[in-house]
Amino acid sequence: MRYLYPYLLEDLRKKMVFVGGPRQVGKTTVAKAILEREFPLGRYFNWDYDEDRQDILKKRWRDEDTLLVFDELHKFPRWKSWIKGICDVSHDLHPILVTGSARLDVYRQGGDSLMGRYHYWRLHPFTLDEVPAGISPKEAFRRLMMVGGFPEPFLDGEERAARRWRHERFDRVLREDVRDLESIRNIQLLGIFLDALRQRVGGLITLSNLAADLQISPKTAQSWLEVLERMYLVFIVRPFTRSLPRAVQKPPKVYFFDNGDVLEGEGARFENLVATSLLKRIHFLEDRDGYRCELRYLRDKEGREVDFVVLKEGVIEEIIETKISDEGISRSLTYYATRLKPRKATQIVAYLKHPYDHNGIRVTDPLSYFQGFFSPA
């Protein structure tokens, strides 16, 4: 069972539980497993199904239903005020679980505040931290690099099937989810914008240049990037700086939740894999423990750059550089480790024979680094 399962059960005893995450990451599977195993008398409703939608609007459930699951409820224009009313009247009778393939914590439909009424969790694809039974860590790494960590292509492990799955997923997200939730008319051009980002993973994204290439305004490019972020297709990593306004002004980097989305070479795909794995850990710490965590990158005027900075409550926990092969420790990593004095400095090498330490920097492989973070389900 997925890594969030026991935590969702625990929180359902206290408040409503919202589970967000990319389309086809496994939210519905987890919700139905909770129903079948823990609440066999509960009810499942999916806003995308006509019959369920009518049952939701007319509140067709019984007092005896031990759990109410509402899937894709954020597509209901007044979902926030609606679920607030249900919670205020019925939560003592029914624990409530809401899932959605968009960011439920920020989605703008509905005006009523849900503050204090729910716990929010983000479900991520499989990573080396979470390998299903029967798959070795080495095989998991191969699959993550080849087809990504979404359950269907990852468990299948076949590249051609993964390409077909990805094509269908992109089409559904852009033509159904974006259409339902956003006021974007030119979906075809949005798809071209998305493909352009797929070719720039790990690089600095200057939206004005990208906008000029596509003959759209920089404001439109910024708006589209935010839409793709809300849809859990991409996430943004901003530079580390003590000044928040400066961080917003500097070019961000863009990574994909699905490692298979990366169109560039092995180096970019490995960097994306590390980024998604780190973000999964960060979101888990925020959702479970309430810490304020961030994933940033380092770069100065001299061009010294380190791929990732992990911040916890504003303090640098770790700086991380990624490499495909062991060609020595990055000079930039050494420079920032000396200057910033983080708790840990790590270089993760995709194909490393033996981990080692040098001058306070840990050089390790991904299988050793991403191991044992999540409690076994």
127, 144 Cβ separation under 8 angstroms: yes
Look at residue 375 in the predicted model and tell me its pLDDT: 53
Asked if the model's pLDDT at residue 246 lies above 90, the reply is no
SS3 (DSSP) at 308: strand
Asked if residue 374 is part of any domain, the answer here is no
Residues 41 and 171 in one domain: no
Residues 163 and 115 in one domain: no
Residues 319 and 178 in one domain: yes
Asked if residue 292 is part of any domain, the answer here is yes
Could you tell me which residue, 249 or 61, shows the higher pLDDT?
61
Asked if the model's pLDDT at residue 60 lies above 60, the reply is yes
Residue-wise pLDDT for 259-288, tens only, equals 999 998 999 999 999 999 999 999 999 999
**pLDDT > 90: percent of the chain:** 78
Look at residue 105 in the predicted model and tell me its pLDDT: 63
Look at residue 137 in the predicted model and tell me its pLDDT: 95
Look at residue 249 in the predicted model and tell me its pLDDT: 63
**What's the CATH number where 61 sits?**
3.40.50.300
Asked if the model's pLDDT at residue 91 lies above 80, the reply is no
Residues 48 and 184 in one domain: no
Look at residue 110 in the predicted model and tell me its pLDDT: 46
Residues 155 and 251 in one domain: yes
Q: Which of 122, 150, 167 is the last residue of a domain?
A: 122
Residues 114 and 227 in one domain: no
- Rounded CA-CA distance 287/271 in Å is 24
Could you tell me which residue, 109 or 71, shows the higher pLDDT?
71
Look at residue 117 in the predicted model and tell me its pLDDT: 87
Tokens matching residue 220: 């439109």
Asked if the model's pLDDT at residue 196 lies above 90, the reply is yes
Q: Which of 98, 122, 146 is the last residue of a domain?
A: 122
Name the H helices within the chain: 5-12, 27-38, 50-57, 79-90, 137-146, 151-156, 159-172, 178-181, 187-198, 207-214, 218-230, 244-249, 266-289, 331-340, 366-369
**What value does the mean pLDDT take over residues 75-103?**
87
Where residue 106 falls among pLDDT bands split at 50, 70, 90?
low
Residues 183 and 312 in one domain: yes
Asked if residue 115 is part of any domain, the answer here is yes
Residues 36 and 78 in one domain: yes
What range does the domain containing 273 cover? Answer: 137-369
Tokens matching residue 311: 């911040």
Supply the mean pLDDT for the chain: 91
Asked if residue 177 is part of any domain, the answer here is yes
* DSSP result, 89-107: HHTTT--EEEEESS-TTT-
Q: How many domains does the chain have?
A: 2
Residues 310 and 161 in one domain: yes
Residues 56 and 191 in one domain: no
Asked if residue 80 is part of any domain, the answer here is yes
Residues 162 and 240 in one domain: yes
* DSSP result, 110-144: --S--TTSEEEEE----BTTB--TT--HHHHHHHH
94, 69 Cβ separation under 8 angstroms: no
Look at residue 93 in the predicted model and tell me its pLDDT: 84
Q: Which of 122, 155, 184 is the last residue of a domain?
A: 122
Asked if residue 377 is part of any domain, the answer here is no
Asked if residue 131 is part of any domain, the answer here is no
Residue-wise pLDDT for 130-187, tens only, equals 999 999 999 999 999 999 999 999 999 999 999 999 999 998 888 888 877 677 878 8
Where residue 243 falls among pLDDT bands split at 50, 70, 90?
low
Asked if residue 70 is part of any domain, the answer here is yes
Residues 141 and 117 in one domain: no
